[in-house]
């Protein structure tokens, strides 16, 4: 459908099935409405006081059976062939792991590179293998017409070939908890050359292409690390309340905590921070749900994070 800009190889197919079904429904709506009105007038009581007994009409009945049959089979045919297309990624598709958690997406590439936005090269097929670390999520890129449920214990896959440069929204389609609506990310479609440059660079956080730079600006690598580990899905850096307590002013504050199940008043220091981060269950903040997932951090990352929290 050339009148809509198609952002992926799947979108043209899905849109044409949709438009086909829509056009058939619209045509029938108009046809049936027309006959409804026409017969009401034509066979009104004042004109036909004595109802007639109308015999069957073999020709008409054959037509109105075969025409809808053909139309429905055509719907099935288009639906089925497009389903086949959507289920069979090309062999050379780049395999990317999609990891969903409350409330963030992360994407892991074959070379180990990890990102919180999905980088894709224009015209290069990409296969996504999904998994979730907690509840059911739904991976949806509306502009690509690509959607798949992310279900615990399953590795559902989906694929696409981006056909337009730019940023496209990723949304979670399954209510997955209080911050469900903030579980957003983007697919960044860049040229093959730009993709390679990003893919083989050691940058932890993806570079923002000049053309599509959001207001975010440059953030320090430590913030990129916290974002990459999903900490910022639940904690803020500026004091605003989120699902978890803010990181601002946390270090050195006196708190009433459940430490190893015991209620205690304690000052947040380095040791307690390390414990709260590596074994969230053992340090519980009263008034917050005990939902913080244990983080997988190297010793170095842990020390960087503790040092950073101390500076806030
Ligand atoms: C799914 C949401 C979620 C994510 C992701 C998350 N946290 Fe938490 N975090 C919480 C909640 C909720 C609490 C408070 C309840 C509790 O202690 O279990 C908490 C508590 C904490 C505390 C103790 C705060 C205090 O006031 O004593 C620290 C420190 C912390 N988180 C650090 C981190 C770090 C670092 C990361 C990333 C590696 C992280 N969190 C990821 C939800 C989250």
What is the CATH classification number for the domain harbouring 168?
A: 2.60.40.420
Which of 276, 279, 184, 273 lies closest to 233, judged by CA?
184
Task: Please identify, by atom number, the ligand 1 atom nearest to the C-alpha of residue 104.
Answer: 5
Peptide bond into 103 cis (omega under 30): yes
Query: Of 38, 68, 87, which one is at a domain's C-terminal end?
Result: 87
Verify whether ligand 1 is closer than 6 Å to residue 138 (CB atom). no
How many angstroms is it from 310 CA to the middle of ligand 1? 15
pLDDT of residue 203: 61
Residue 167 lies in a domain: yes
Residue 1 lies in a domain: no
Verify whether ligand 1 is closer than 6 Å to residue 233 (CB atom). yes
Task: Please identify, by atom number, the ligand 1 atom nearest to the C-alpha of residue 280.
Answer: 18
| Residues 106 and 65 grouped into a single domain | no
Average pLDDT of the segment spanning 139-160: 93
Verify whether ligand 1 is closer than 6 Å to residue 305 (CB atom). yes
Average pLDDT of the segment spanning 49-72: 90
| Residues 99 and 211 grouped into a single domain | yes
Task: Please identify, by atom number, the ligand 1 atom nearest to the C-alpha of residue 283.
Answer: 17
Ligand 1 pocket, mutate which of 101, 104, 224, 245 (most atoms under 8 A from CB): 245
Calculate the average pLDDT of the chain. 86
| Residues 75 and 130 grouped into a single domain | no
Q: Between 269 and 288, where is the model more confident?
A: 269
Query: Of 187, 217, 247, which one is at a domain's C-terminal end?
Result: 217
| Residues 195 and 110 grouped into a single domain | yes
Report the 10 Å Cβ neighbour count for 57. Answer: 10
| Residues 257 and 284 grouped into a single domain | yes
pLDDT of residue 221: 84
Verify whether ligand 1 is closer than 6 Å to residue 230 (CB atom). yes
| Residues 229 and 162 grouped into a single domain | no
pLDDT of residue 209: 38
How many angstroms is it from 244 CA to the middle of ligand 1? 6
Q: Which domain holds residue 196?
A: 94-217
Residue 4 lies in a domain: no
Verify whether ligand 1 is closer than 6 Å to residue 276 (CB atom). yes
How many angstroms is it from 251 CA to the middle of ligand 1? 13
Residue 212 lies in a domain: yes
In contact, 170 and 186? CB cutoff 8 Å:
yes
Verify whether ligand 1 is closer than 6 Å to residue 183 (CB atom). no
Task: Please identify, by atom number, the ligand 1 atom nearest to the C-alpha of residue 103.
Answer: 1
| Residues 99 and 77 grouped into a single domain | no
Verify whether ligand 1 is closer than 6 Å to residue 121 (CB atom). no
Sequence-separated (6 or more) residues with CB below 8 Å from residue 22: none
| Residues 194 and 114 grouped into a single domain | yes
| Residues 68 and 112 grouped into a single domain | no
Ligand 1 pocket, mutate which of 225, 257, 292 (most atoms under 8 A from CB): 292
Verify whether ligand 1 is closer than 6 Å to residue 288 (CB atom). yes
List the CATH number of the domain containing 28.
Answer: 1.10.287.90
| Residues 100 and 173 grouped into a single domain | yes
Domains of the chain: total: 3
Task: Please identify, by atom number, the ligand 1 atom nearest to the C-alpha of residue 250.
Answer: 26
The model carries a pTM of 0.61
How many angstroms is it from 235 CA to the middle of ligand 1? 7
Sequence-separated (6 or more) residues with CB below 8 Å from residue 310: 251, 252, 270
Q: Give the CA count within 13 Å in the CB-facing half-sphere of 130.
A: 25
Query: Of 45, 64, 87, which one is at a domain's C-terminal end?
Result: 87
| Residues 106 and 155 grouped into a single domain | yes
Which of 179, 128, 152 lies closest to 8, judged by CA?
128
Average pLDDT of the segment spanning 287-310: 86
Residue 296 lies in a domain: yes
Residue 3 lies in a domain: no
Q: Between 6 and 26, where is the model more confident?
A: 26
| Residues 105 and 74 grouped into a single domain | no
pLDDT of residue 211: 34
Q: Which residue has the tokens 């949806």?
A: 140
pLDDT digits (tens, 9 = 90+) for 189-239: 999 999 998 888 876 544 443 333 344 556 788 888 888 888 888 888 888
pLDDT digits (tens, 9 = 90+) for 73-115: 998 999 899 999 989 999 999 999 999 988 889 999 998 888 8
pLDDT of residue 112: 84
Residue 204 lies in a domain: yes
How many angstroms is it from 110 CA to the middle of ligand 1? 29
Q: Between 26 and 240, where is the model more confident?
A: 26
Verify whether ligand 1 is closer than 6 Å to residue 6 (CB atom). no
Residue 289 lies in a domain: yes
């Amino acid at each position: 459908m050339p009148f809509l800009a198609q952002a992926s190889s799947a979108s043209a197919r899905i849109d044409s099935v949709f438009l086909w079904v829509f056009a058939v429904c619209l045509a029938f709506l108009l046809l049936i409405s027309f006959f409804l009105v026409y017969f009401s007038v034509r066979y009104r009581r004042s004109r036909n006081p004595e109802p007639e007994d109308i015999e069957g009409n073999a020709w008409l009945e054959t037509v109105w059976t075969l025409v809808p049959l053909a139309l429905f089979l055509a719907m099935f045919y288009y639906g089925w062939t497009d389903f086949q297309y959507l289920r069979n990624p090309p062999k050379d598709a780049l395999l990317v792991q999609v990891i969903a958690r409350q409330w963030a997406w992360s994407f892991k590439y074959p070379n180990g590179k990890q990102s919180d936005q999905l980088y894709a090269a224009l015209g290069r097929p990409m296969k996504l293998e999904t998994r979730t670390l907690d509840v059911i999520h739904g991976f949806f890129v509306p502009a690509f017409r690509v959607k798949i449920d992310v279900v615990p214990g399953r590795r559902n896959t989906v694929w696409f070939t981006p056909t337009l440069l730019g940023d496209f929204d990723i949304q979670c389609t399954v209510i997955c908890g209080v911050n469900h609506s903030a579980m957003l990310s983007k697919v960044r479609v860049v040229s093959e050359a730009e993709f390679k440059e990003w893919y083989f660079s050691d940058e932890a956080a993806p570079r923002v292409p000049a053309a599509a730079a959001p207001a975010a600006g440059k953030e320090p690598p430590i913030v990129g690390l916290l974002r990459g580990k999903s900490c910022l899905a639940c904690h803020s850096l500026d004091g605003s309340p989120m699902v978890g307590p803010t990181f601002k002013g946390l270090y050195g504050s006196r708190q009433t905590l459940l430490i190893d199940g015991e209620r205690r008043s304690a000052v947040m220091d380095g040791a307690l921070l390390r414990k709260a981060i590596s074994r969230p269950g053992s340090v519980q903040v009263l008034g917050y749900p005990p939902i913080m997932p244990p983080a997988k951090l190297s010793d170095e990352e842990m020390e960087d994070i503790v040092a950073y929290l101390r500076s806030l």
